[in-house]
Every structure is written in C-alpha cells, then in structure tokens.
Structure 1
Amino acid sequence: MAPDRSEVAALVEPIVVGAGFDVDDVAVQRHPGSDDASITIVVDGDEGVGLEALTELTRTLTARLDQQPWAQQYALEVMSRGVESPLTLPRHWRRNHGRKVELVIGGTAGIGETVHGRIGNLIGDTVSVVVNRKGRLGVREVALADVESAVVAVEFGEPSPAELRLCRGDD
C-alpha cells in the first residue's frame, strides 16, 4: 500500500527541520494500477539548499522511509525550491529580500493588478516592494493577504544602489 501525503510529511519533517531547513512541500503521486508511488520532498533554507545538503538529506530520508511497510514501493526525489516557485509564505518573501518580483495584487471581479518591483523588508504581514516608475523609485507597501500570486523574476543585471537602499529601508 502506497503512503499518503500526511504520513510522509510526519516522517520527513523532523529530519529536514533537524538539518536546519524547512519542508516547503510534500507530494505523493500514486502510479495507476499499482501500489507504487513517487514521493517528492521540496526543502528550503535561509541560505538556500546546496547540492551536498540535498544529497545528505536524500540519504537520511531514504533510510527513514525504508523502515516503512511500503518501503519497496516508492521512488524518492528531494529538491530545493526553484526560482519559479511561487512566493506563498512570509519566509519566501524574507529569503528573497532584494530580488526582483512579479506579483498580482487582488482586485475586484478576479482582475488583479500586476506589479513589478524588488522585494524590500517584510514587517508583520506586509512587504515593501520597491517599484521603478519611469525612472522614479518608490516604495509600495503590500499586505501579503492581498497577493494573488508572486514569483521571483529572473534578472541578469545588478540592481542599482538606490534600489538596494530602498529595499533595506535606508531612504
């Protein structure tokens, strides 16, 4: 019998947290017509998650999962959050401080406002977003509850010193 998501989450969370990381997601996908399953564990950390840490976590989690009755019926993948992962929790915003973001702020009738900016300070449940409007920098305070969706935007250049000062709240 394949495991369910809550069972796997309860098994892996103490190990991941003990290693200094957060469990960002647990997914269990059952294979049609069998008891086999694919288990995906997504982890995150304040300084990201390096390849060595992922390798060690995979070994430790495999050893723990192999003790379960369904041990021969799963494939495990342990991965870090990708840059395309949505920002859904306060820690995602905090960990991406200073990075470019594209967010949709809730509106009426399901039509939200798209904002492009740079992630500033997170205070409580409000994030500062540094926006550039035709060369004029400003700070917009956004309640996380109003964010319909948000993802880090890939950028190839360096941010301006003025943008970074505003992200830190220096100006």
Structure 2
Amino acid sequence: MPMPTDERVSQLIAGLVERRGFDLEGVDLSTVGKHADAQARVTVVVDSDAASDLDTIATLSRDLSELLDEAGDFGDTPYLLEVTSPGIDRPLTADRHWRRARGRKVRITLRPGAEPPDPGGHARFDARVGALDGDSVALVLGGRHKPHRVTVPLADIAEAVVQVEFNPPGARELELAGGVAPGRPTPGQDAEDISGSTDAVPVTASDSPTEGIVE
C-alpha cells in the first residue's frame, strides 16, 4: 500500500494540532530501512506561543498516532511518528515566527532594490529581532558594542534565518529588542538545546498506537 502524501497527513492532523493549542509548521514523510524491514517515518513539526515540555509533546504524539491509526492510510505499513518543535536555525516566514523570535539573532537578506536600514550597509546582515508592529519589525543592529534599533518593512525582507548562539547578547542589545519572547530560551543557551524539543514515538500500524517507547 503506498504511503499517504505530506498534504494528506497535514489535512488529517491539522484540526487536532490546532485544538491542542499548537500551530502545524510542517509534515514530512520518508522511508526508513529497505524491503521487508522498511517502515515509514512521519515527522510532524509544531510550535506554539507557550513553552512546550516533553510531557505535552508526548501527549500530542499519542493523540496523533491514534488519529493516524484510525484513518488507516498506512494500512499494515509500520510507521514511526516523530513530533518535534522547529530547530533553532529556523527561517521566519510568518508573523507568528517573528513574534516568537523576539530577542534572537537572525541573518537578514533584503529583497533586490530594498535600502539597507543603515546608510552604506549591505543587503545581508545580522540583527536581533525586536517587536513586530503591523507590517514592520524592529531590528537591533550593532551587536554588543554599538546597539541601535531600526525599523524595517517585512516586505523588504527576502529571507530571515535564526542564528545559533553560544554567547549571551549584551544587556543593552537585548533591552532594545524588548527582551526575549515569553516561554522562549535565553539566547546563548543553544548548546543545550541545539535541535529543539523532540519526542519520538515508534508505532506499528497493527499495534495499539498508544503503546510504544517514548525516547
């Protein structure tokens, strides 16, 4: 039996994810192993404004596995369900991403023709995310030594990717950004949380989806 598509799984689980207070950030299906030992891997990426602990993620994993088992789209194919939060170095593509990234360092790439926020600056630069205000976002430039705040229209930003940080920002730099978004880790602690909170629940389609090993 062929595996369902990413879009099909997204449609199946989107309502449940939303009811549990999460945003569905992505679904990815792949195959692990070969031939008779092959199984499907279903990776579900979720996020929320509130901090999510491992117990919350584990509960969501069990609920999703029950839903997928009831839908029957995998037939007798065994599958591994992995529910995870976005990685540290995530791209910012929606307003909620900017809100949750407040206080984080990002690498900004401006669209062609957009003016850099600092005179004589480059179209690609690092900044710390400040408050989102409608169609614009505050950015703190200058790092620890010369921090200053500018405002950039979101329409001028072609790409923004959160950067991994191993050292804390300067106090003034973080103050200008408005602090860290509630429930988010303090910048500079990425060595302890390099891949986000992950909870993997192995599930075999013919077994009870609420049983399994939570790693």
For Structure 1 versus Structure 2, the TM-score category normalised by the shorter chain is: 0.7 to 0.9
Give a deviation string over 1:138-166, Cα, whole Å, max 9, x none. 22222223222222222233322322332
Q: Is it true that 1:136 corresponds to 2:141 in the alignment?
A: no
Q: Is it true that 1:59 corresponds to 2:69 in the alignment?
A: no
Query: For residues 75-154 of structure 1, what are the structure 2 equivalents within 5 Å?
Result: 75-108=80-113, 113-132=123-142, 135-154=145-164
> Does structure 1 conserve the Cα–Cα contact (< 8 Å) formed by 2:144 and 2:169?
no
Cα distance in 2 between the residues matched to 1:20 and 1:137: 36
Cα distance in 1 between the residues matched to 2:165 and 2:130: 16
Tell me, what secondary structure is at the counterpart of 1:67? helix
Q: 1:163 to 1:33 in 2, by over 3 A?
A: same
Tell me, what secondary structure is at the counterpart of 1:145? helix
- Number of positions where the alignment pairs a residue of Structure 1 with one of Structure 2: 166
> Does structure 2 conserve the Cα–Cα contact (< 8 Å) formed by 1:102 and 1:114?
yes
Q: Aligned residue for 1:5?
A: 6
Deviation at 1:33, TM superposition (A): 8.0
Q: 1:15 to 1:134 in 2, by over 3 A?
A: closer
Q: Aligned residue for 1:19?
A: 20
Cα distance in 1 between the residues matched to 2:141 and 2:5: 43
Higher normalized contact order (CA 8 Å, seq sep 6+, divided by chain length): 2
Cα distance in 1 between the residues matched to 2:93 and 2:106: 13
Q: Aligned residue for 2:207?
A: none
Deviation at 1:28, TM superposition (A): 2.6
Deviation at 1:41, TM superposition (A): 0.7
Cα distance in 2 between the residues matched to 1:101 and 1:24: 19
Tell me, what secondary structure is at the counterpart of 1:66? helix
Cα distance in 2 between the residues matched to 1:135 and 1:49: 34
> Does structure 2 conserve the Cα–Cα contact (< 8 Å) formed by 1:100 and 1:153?
yes
State TM-score, norm by structure 2: 0.67
Q: Is it true that 1:38 corresponds to 2:48 in the alignment?
A: no
Q: Give the helix-richer structure, 1 or 2.
A: 1
Counterpart of 1:75 in structure 2: which amino acid? Answer: L
Give a deviation string over 1:111-147, Cα, whole Å, max 9, x none. x711211100101121111001793322222222322
Give a deviation string over 1:11-55, Cα, whole Å, max 9, x none. 111111111111011123367989964321100111343222221
Cα distance in 1 between the residues matched to 2:88 and 2:12: 26
State TM-score, norm by structure 1: 0.83
**Runs of at least 5 residues in structure 2 that lack an aligned partner in the other structure:** 114-121, 180-215
Q: Give the strand-richer structure, 1 or 2.
A: 1
CA RMSD of the aligned region, Å?
2.6
**Runs of at least 5 residues in structure 1 that lack an aligned partner in the other structure:** none
Deviation at 1:89, TM superposition (A): 1.2
Q: 1:145 to 1:27 in 2, by over 3 A?
A: farther
